[in-house]
Amino acid sequence: MKEKVLTSEEVSSYFRIPKLTVYKLAKDGAIPAAKVGKHWRFKKCELDKWFRKKQASTNK
């Protein structure tokens, strides 16, 4: 199965956060991302793992 790769705009929509927040999180290394040329790309499966981990640590 092919892994889904998202753009910054798609991540912004997926998490319902501003695009600038997505850029800041990516730049700071706080969210799993890779820079391809001038563009950030995100693997959806990695974002889902990251979110579950954040959610679990928040619910403790």
pTM of the model: 0.88
The C-alpha atoms of residue 1 and residue 24 are separated, in whole angstroms, by 30
Residue ranges in the chain whose pLDDT is less than 70? 1, 60
| Model pLDDT, residue 9 | 97
Structure tokens belonging to residue 46: 């990695």
Answer yes or no: are the C-beta atoms of 46 and 32 closer than 8 Å: yes
* Model pLDDT for residues 3-20, shown as the tens digit of each residue: 899 999 999 999 999 999
Domain extent for 17: 5-58
Total of domains in the chain: 1
Work out the percent of the chain whose per-residue pLDDT is above 70.
Answer: 97
